[in-house]
Structure 1
């Protein structure tokens, strides 16, 4: 097991509010009612693994907010940190994200409070050890599945992290690496068939106002607040929900459904954010203002292929 006392690794000396083992998530199981899970900012997650020469789907640590999460090394290891700047400190020395670094035996790594962004990704050589459940090690709290002990729980004080890699290819981020936490501009949205249910004025408001990221946000969904959107039917026949789907409940305040979303839903959907836009939204702190822009499904596919191509 990943916290076997006979294996040296990294010990959690103080747990933060939400540190989860994540990978690319579970696919092909939504018909069982099992959600996708996986890294919310999948772009930063993939770059963290790339820095160490890991497989793209290697399990890593998703650290939300920081909250004084404290990790202590039992042996020397090279790690990679990408994504939000959570004011990380290595034995009280500032540690900038988006690079590899060495953690020596006895050293402590502390994540304090967000300076930029919300989620940081810490990659380990070869990927973290954790049980593989339905093809993934991703931790989904609501379903009590995955993670260090397959109980869906965040890391707690005393947990031991181990990994299955030895040597690493310590790299530097290339100039083509564009991280969601540093990407300005509107979030791309593909309109769906139910967009016709919304009044013309509401469609105008969708794309011509600044939405505020509400503090009612988690890995299931992120609520946006602004001028309410009005639709004809108050509900529809429940149907499958993709990543980034924007549901509009009766109060008119849209909810962007994220990695740990329910698998079906019955509120009208105005469309869905692209995967890259979801990664950017996952890095937005409450109170952040965002705008939406419409693009076609073909444009969305081209953008996604281009994003995947940066790792080739």
Structure 2
């Protein structure tokens, strides 16, 4: 049984937690841009944490159910409706055969996640179904295609449904403008004045942003070095290219790069950033490794305790 794609929307992608262990051969990880929203979606349905979901960017997606099931919607509010009746994210809903689920344009945030009981059934490529369009890997076809009109998103039919909602205190605040960043070993290539400039400046999300990376626009940041020998790129790395405009590298990032880096945004900070639209304004806030680990531990402990 399946959801039939009536309208594919702007960008709807099959995702799990990512394709790990292959960066040495040039393949990136992929996976959900907003990891905590993804994890809560599976938790609401008692799914395995890695069960496949749909990441819906900017909405405009319409699906028709071909069998009963239970779903969870997390992440952004994309003005979702079920059979024409408005529904809100961060909770579960019972789905009956012939129900129509529609995602419109964002009310707040940018990316929503649709989880189904037991996960969507897809054939993994290199151990993952994560869709990376640039690398032509993952998704329904295994070739990195985004969802198309007429696609069938298979799942196991289920009449079991539990009405659940994420605790309000655990729902991220997508209006947050401070993005936490852990300084890298290259931050000393920036003068103390440039560092102060970086952390006290407002940056605007560029329209030239995607799953590979978010480009920032603001006052240029200058490094004492113009380039480095290419090296591996970690999730969240904030590169400062020659034009001085920061680039935050995210889930579909390249695996190596040769620009100096101020640091890395945390996984939670990257999730908040991924919900920002072009034109939104953010600031970077310094955080130590210990603080970042403590923040992640608390958020994961809350989720696991709720499970």
Q: Is the 8 A contact 2:90 2:166 kept in 1?
A: no
What TM-score does the superposition give when structure 2 sets the normalisation length?
0.95
- Choose from 57, 66, 77 the match for 2:50: 57
Q: Judging changes above 3 Å, is the alpha-carbon distance between structure 1 residues 156 and 181 closer, same or farther for their aligned structure 2 residues?
A: farther
SS at match of 2:291: helix
Equivalent pairs counted in the alignment come to 304
Which ranges in structure 1 are unaligned for 5 or more consecutive residues? 1-7
1:278-293 superposed matches below 5 A: 278-293=270-285
Question: Counterpart of 2:119?
Answer: 127
Structure 2 CA distance, aligned partners of 1:309 and 1:185? 24
2:105 equivalent in structure 1: 113
| CA apart distance, 1:78 | 1.3
Correspondence list, 1:95-174, <5 A: 95-164=87-156, 166=158, 168=160, 170-174=162-166
The aligned counterpart of 2:205 is 213
**1:91, 1:166 → 2: CA distance?**
19
Q: Which runs of 5+ in 2 are unaligned?
A: none
SS in 2 for 1:55: coil
Q: d(CA) in 2 for partners of 1:107 and 1:174? A: 24
Residues 69, 158 of structure 2: 8 Å contact kept: no
Q: Confirm whether residue 40 of structure 1 aligns to residue 33 of structure 2.
A: yes
TM-score (structure 1 length as normaliser): 0.94
Counterparts of 2:300 and 2:44, CA distance in 1: 16
- Name the CA distance, whole Å, in 1 between partners of 2:245 and 2:172: 24
Structure 1 segments, 4+ long, off by >6 Å, are: none
Which whole-Å CA distance do the structure 2 matches of 1:182 and 1:238 have between them?
34
* Root mean square deviation of aligned Cα: 1.5
CA deviations 1:151-180 (Å, max 9, x no partner) are: 101000000011247465625234365233
Question: Is 1:93 aligned with 2:93?
Answer: no
Structure 1 CA distance for aligned equivalents of residues 157 and 169 of structure 2: 24
| Maintained 8 Å contact 1:177/1:310 | no
1:178 matched to 2:167? The reply is no
